[in-house]
Chain A
Amino acid sequence: MPRPAPESPRRSSLTPFYVILGLVLLAGIAVLVTQMRPNKDAGANVPATAVTLTPDQLQRVKGMSRGRDDAPITIYEFADYQCPHCAQFAALIEPVIMERMVDTGRARYVFYEFPLQFKWSWLSARAGRCANEQGKFWDFHALVFARQGDWAFDPDPISKWGPLASQVGLDQGKFEECVRSDRFQKEVTESSQLGNSLGVGGTPTLFVNGRKVETPTSYAAFEEEVRKIAPGAFGGAAAPAAPGATAPAAVDPAATAPAGAAPAAPAAGTTSP
Chain B
Amino acid sequence: MASDAPGFVHDRPAAPPLARMAVALLALIGLLVSTYLSLYKLGVIGGLTCTVGSCEQVQASPWAVLMGIPVSLWGVGAYVAILAIAIVGLQPGQVHARWVALALFCLSAVGVAFSGYLTYIEAYVIEMWCQWCVTSAVIITLIFLLSIPGLRQAR
Are B54 and A118 interface neighbours, CB within 8 A?
yes
Q: State in angstroms the CA–CA spacing of A3 and B3 once bound together.
A: 10
Decide yes or no whether B16 CB sits under 8 A from chain A. Answer: yes
Are B25 and A24 interface neighbours, CB within 8 A?
yes
Are A35 and B16 interface neighbours, CB within 8 A?
no
B86–chain A nearest beta-carbon distance, Å: 10
Contacting residues, chain A, for B109 (C-beta < 8 A): none
* Interface-facing stretch out of A44-52, A80-88, A257-265: A80-88
User: Which residues in chain A, 29-66, are within 8 Å of chain B measured between CB atoms?
Assistant: 31-32, 35-36, 38-39
Are A36 and B57 interface neighbours, CB within 8 A?
no
Q: State in angstroms the CA–CA spacing of A36 and B45 once bound together.
A: 5
Contacting residues, chain B, for A84 (C-beta < 8 A): 56-57, 60
Q: State in angstroms the CA–CA spacing of A201 and B5 once bound together.
A: 72
Decide yes or no whether A20 CB sits under 8 A from chain B. Answer: yes
Q: State in angstroms the CA–CA spacing of A82 and B128 once bound together.
A: 12
Are A32 and B32 interface neighbours, CB within 8 A?
yes
Are B29 and A17 interface neighbours, CB within 8 A?
no
User: Which residues in chain A, 72-105, are within 8 Å of chain B measured between CB atoms?
Assistant: 82-85
Are A83 and B25 interface neighbours, CB within 8 A?
no
State which of A25, A36, A153 has its C-beta within 8 Å of the C-beta of B62. Answer: A153
Are A119 and B29 interface neighbours, CB within 8 A?
no
Contacting residues, chain B, for A39 (C-beta < 8 A): 46
Are B35 and A24 interface neighbours, CB within 8 A?
no
B15–chain A nearest beta-carbon distance, Å: 6
A84–chain B nearest beta-carbon distance, Å: 5
State which of B7, B46, B47 has its C-beta within 8 Å of the C-beta of A4. Answer: B7
Contacting residues, chain B, for A14 (C-beta < 8 A): 16, 90
Contacting residues, chain B, for A20 (C-beta < 8 A): 25
Number of A-B contacts (CB under 8 A): 78
Are A153 and B61 interface neighbours, CB within 8 A?
yes
A123–chain B nearest beta-carbon distance, Å: 13
Contacting residues, chain B, for A117 (C-beta < 8 A): 54, 128
User: Which residues in chain A, 146-188, are within 8 Å of chain B measured between CB atoms?
Assistant: 148-149, 152-153
Binary A-proximity of B1-41 (CB < 8 A = 1, otherwise 0):
00101011100010110000100110011001001100100
Known interface pairs A2-B5, A118-B57; A21-B24 also in contact (CB < 8 Å):
yes
Are A2 and B8 interface neighbours, CB within 8 A?
yes
Decide yes or no whether B49 CB sits under 8 A from chain A. Answer: yes
Are A83 and B57 interface neighbours, CB within 8 A?
yes
Decide yes or no whether B44 CB sits under 8 A from chain A. Answer: yes
Contacting residues, chain A, for B9 (C-beta < 8 A): 3, 5-6
Q: State in angstroms the CA–CA spacing of A6 and B8 once bound together.
A: 9
A193–chain B nearest beta-carbon distance, Å: 21
Contacting residues, chain A, for B45 (C-beta < 8 A): 35-36
Are A21 and B25 interface neighbours, CB within 8 A?
yes
Decide yes or no whether A8 CB sits under 8 A from chain B. Answer: no
Q: State in angstroms the CA–CA spacing of A85 and B40 once bound together.
A: 13
Binary B-proximity of A105-118 (CB < 8 A = 1, otherwise 0):
00000000000111
Contacting residues, chain B, for A24 (C-beta < 8 A): 25, 28-29, 32
A154–chain B nearest beta-carbon distance, Å: 10
Shortest 9 CB-CB contacts between residues of A and residues of B: A28-B32, A2-B8, A84-B60, A35-B45, A84-B56, A119-B127, A5-B9, A17-B21, A153-B126
Contact sample, A vs B, 29 pairs, CB 8 Å cutoff: A2-B3, A2-B5, A2-B8, A5-B9, A6-B9, A14-B90, A17-B16, A17-B21, A17-B24, A17-B90, A21-B28, A24-B25, A24-B29, A24-B32, A32-B39, A36-B45, A38-B46, A82-B57, A83-B56, A83-B57, A85-B47, A116-B54, A117-B54, A118-B54, A152-B57, A152-B61, A153-B61, A153-B62, A153-B125
